[in-house]
Structure 1
Amino acid sequence: MTIRTRKFLGTIALLVLAAVWALLGMALAQMPWIAESGWRQAVYYVVAGMGWVLPAMPIVSWMQRPDRA
């Protein structure tokens, strides 16, 4: 697979990941044990906001792999 194809597929995967992560984050934020406490909300939003980076890292590293000769 060429690097151009990997970047195209990786971009689509990252967009899907971001959309699904955001929807799940919004749904979980409505849970009563998070919504009732200000400090829990703060911790949750920090973790949820930065949490998408871990699943995105393997996708980005796969996209950057050089073409095989």
Structure 2
Amino acid sequence: MPLRLRKLIGTVLIIALVLLYALIATTVASALLGASPWWVHLLYFLLSGLLWILPAMLIIRWMERPVDSE
């Protein structure tokens, strides 16, 4: 697969990941954290704010792989 196509697909995947992840994280926070103390909110948003980086790193690693010469 050409590098430019792989980067285009990866970019679209990262944007979709961020949008979907933000929607899910906000929905979970709204449903479960309503009456929780401030420190629970802080922990939740700290962890959920960092957790999306793991799948994004895998997508970026895939995007930056060298082109296979055939």
TM-score (norm 1): 0.92
1:52 pairs with 2:43 = no
Q: Which digits, 9 at most, give the CA deviation of each residue in 1:5-49, with x for residues without a partner?
A: 1000000000000000000011011124x2222111000000111
Aligned counterpart, 1:63: 63
Give the alignment's Cα RMSD to 1 decimal. 0.9
Percent identical residues: 34
Q: How many residues are matched?
A: 68
Unaligned runs of 5+ in 2: none
Task: Kindly report structure 1 stretches of 4+ aligned residues shifted beyond 6 Å.
Answer: none
Whole-Å separation in 1 of the counterparts to 2:13 and 2:63: 10
Richer in helix (by share): 1
Amino acid at match of 1:42: L
- Is the partner of 1:31 in helix, strand or coil? helix
TM-score (norm 2): 0.91
